[in-house]
Chains A and B, each alone.
Chain A
Amino acid sequence: MSVFPRRGKRAEMAISERELSQMTRELDQLHESTFSQVRTTLDELTANLGQVVRHSSTRRSFFLGAAGAVALGTVAACSSGSTPPAGQSSPAAPPQPPKETYTGDLKVVALATALENLAVTAYGGALKKAGAGELGTVPPAVATFVQTAMKQHADHAQAWNAVLAKAGKPTVTDAPLSITQDQVAMLTAAKSVPDVAKLALNLENIAAQTYTFATANVTDPGGIITAATIQPVETMHAAILNFVLGQYPIPDTFIGVSNALKPDALTVK
């Protein structure tokens, strides 16, 4: 079942379609000015990852650090199983685990895509609830925030999916993550703008920390710099959400990684 909501009417949103269209046009212009540069980086990333996919023996060097070791263990478990010599069947041999679709840096790319999709789901769900009047009156600034942040997350997901597609991997169009079920349940239970803002803040903080983690745990230069250019955008979303909630907008002096999603949070093989 897709976690993506259907587009709903926006009867309760205090922003006109004309204003929204104008805002979206302006955003697109800004977006296009920075996106061409990113597209080049992503093309390079794809080319590098394509090589890596063809030369799978280099996978072991993909991850650094403790979480990387976990990922490595998984990859090793999949790739190191040797076939017994002919005639030496082993009845006690456990069944081979399913082959992983996403490994190494591509697993982080898939993780990032899923996380971006989850953010789009959360903001899309908020819009749907707002349209149905389930959040009370939504102030114009909040409506604009939701629309803009959702579009940026969709663009991030699109960028990462382009990498997966060019590397010959299935794109990630859903949010196959260990946290998705809880987040969707929280969204379903949300009854006010602050409820939604808290949910979104949590997701933005997770995204920011995941990208911070990725800068240290991805090995491809294109992947590193792409994560580095997305991370500040997520932290900026978080700052505005803190402000909306009446909290100090920049509580941390350094962005941590303790709440980062690690590659094993990706539930798709």
Chain B
Amino acid sequence: MRNKIDEGRFRELLEESDDLHSDALRSARAGLDDYVEAAREARLAARRETSRWGPVAAAAGVTGAATLLASGTAWAAGDDIAALQTAAGIENLAVQTYKTALTLPFIGGSSANPVVKAFAEKTMGQHNEHATAFNAAAQRLGGKPQTAPDPKYAEVVKQTVPKIKGAADVVGLAITLEDVAAQTYVKNVGLVSTAELRQLFASVAGVESQHKAILLAVQALVKGGTPELIALPPDLTKLPAEAGSVGFPDTFYPTAMAAPVEEGAVK
């Protein structure tokens, strides 16, 4: 790849981005405590409801209802933890995959486009932060941290890596992982039990979809035989028209590929 970039300027941009990121992260960490506290309260409230209504239902002979109520409550609490653990597993896999990709000469080596390399490094760091946040929330709710990668997509990565021949293959794999992550978190917004956890999943979904948007644009340029146009700032006059829309193909973000809540739960 021919590299067209002002590396000094790019480094400045990354530093500016890191400053912004640090601010956002501080805010997110503060918010994380709120997320967890609210989820805890929801669990305690649910337990109180169970203890209040379970015996009443049982005394009335509605044992089925009492059991259902109890198991439903247990499921709801476990559901949040499982969702967080599954999310952490997806993030762990993303970190591992970007780490592996950065060992390849055309992503992290001498023939790499500096923008793509820097993107991979920065994105890996962001996924690491997401994993930390999801695991912290899972632990605060009484669950175990998920330190392993998502089992289903780890297999996909395992099968794909030996077949990688160039940057386009890596980008394609990364798009799949980012898309699964975003779809999973969008769906989880509708599943988790508290407003705070909904916001946590939404706040990360928006970032994964941004990774996907940039990767789709990069993929189009690589496949189009113009990788030199992957530059920051870009030469807008040379970018093909499709580059302006290829990054956001859906009007409403889909969820069909979302990982099931239990997929990455710690057994």
Residues of A within 8 A of B (CB): 15, 19, 23, 27, 30-31, 34-35, 37-38, 64-65, 137, 139-149, 151-152, 155-156, 159, 193, 208, 211-213, 215-217, 221, 224-240, 243-258
Contacts and interface: CB of A to CB of B under 8 A. Distances in A.
B251 A232 contact: no
A27 B27 CA distance: 37
A23 B249 CA distance: 11
> Binding site of B, secondary structure by majority: helix, strand, loop or mixed?
helix
Given A233-B253, A251-B21, 20 more contacts: A35-B252, A37-B254, A141-B242, A144-B241, A229-B252, A229-B253, A237-B248, A239-B213, A243-B214, A244-B234, A247-B232, A248-B122, A250-B122, A250-B123, A252-B21, A252-B207, A253-B126, A255-B207, A256-B24, A258-B27
B250 interface: yes
Chain A binding site: helix, strand, loop or mixed by DSSP?
helix
Contacts, number: 217
Contacts of A30: 249-251
A141 B202 contact: no
A233 B217 contact: no
B13 A23 contact: no
B214 A249 contact: yes
A95 to B, nearest CB: 35
B28 interface: yes
A254 B24 contact: yes
Nearest to A39: B252
B68 interface: no
A65 B195 contact: yes
Nearest to A16: B241
Which of B14, B133, B234 has the most CB atoms of chain A within a 10 A radius of its CB? B234
Interface in B125-141: 126, 129-130, 133
Interface in B100-142: 122-123, 126, 129-130, 133
